[in-house]
Amino acid sequence: MSTLIHTHPDASPLGKPVAYAQHYAPELLFPITRQGKRDEIGISGDALPFIGEDLWNAYELSWLDPRGKPVVALARFHVPAYSPRLIESKSLKLYLNAFNQTKVASVEVLTETLTRDLSAAAGAPVSVRVEPLSTRPQRHMGYPKGVLLDTLEIDVDRYTPAPSLLSADHALPHVGETLYSHLLKSNCLVTGQPDWAMLVVRYKGAPIDREGLLRYIISFRQHNEFHEQCVERVFTDILRECRPTALSVWARYTRRGGLDINPCRRTPGMPVPPDFAEIRQ
């Protein structure tokens, strides 16, 4: 696969009328370099302050078996945070839909094809799992084991990202806790359509001011940025303003176009987030 690399999302298929391909078309994938947005938040080159991944769930995957009979499946993609590129979501939807009238020899062949194409687009190994519905795959719903911030009685007047709202009391003993909110809303960088998510912050260090953190999360309400970029912005702002000794930030975004995106960024040593879906997904 020959991959065309893009630096600006305005050239993507987002917000534009498109003709759906009838057969396998890897050229539909639209990779966007991560570095441009990382420059905005002070992350340069390969010196990433985090590890992590973007977990994609695909709910609308189908193809034809060798006899022309449709197969329907769920798929899961893990894109490493160190990959130089993210994949624009509408292009991934178009790419997956191009299999609808494509004959594929087996689930294994499809998995190999998806792995090859997505890894080439991202510029790093992408892991792929495909589960036909005939195998009865399960989806687990849950809530974080932590403190829900949304019941705090606060006044809010900031709706664009305001890192100054974040603080931690370094005069108090260090804690380890998980704080989460369902109130994260941001907007698509290109179309301005709303993106909804649960945001989870797990950290060790000086206690983070909870009211300030909730105000900060709400401050993304009129901010235009892709899911992955929002989570990286939250991570770097908390790391800089609160100075925890360990930090993990992850989001569970609601699905659009048969896809949901769940970025996670964490300092080395912090555990991988539990594998459950948010109720709105």
> Can you tell me the distance from the alpha carbon of 53 to that of 155, in angstroms, rounded to the nearest whole number?
34
Q: What is the DSSP pairing of strand 194-205 with strand 85-87?
A: unpaired
Distance (Å, whole) CA 269 – CA 146: 19
* DSSP β-ladder status, 51-64 and 70-80: antiparallel
Distance of CA 135 to the CA centre of its chain: 26
Helix (H) or strand (E) holding 231: helix 227-242
| CA distances, 193 to each of 13, 97, 107, 181, 186 (Å) | 14, 22, 34, 20, 9
The catalytic site residues sit at: 188, 195
Which residues have CB under 8 Å from 74's CB, separation 6+? 57, 58, 59, 61, 130, 131, 133, 137
Where do we find the tokens 């005939």? 134
Give the integer Cα–Cα distance in Å for 110 and 24. 11
Provide the β-strand partners of residue 187: 194, 224
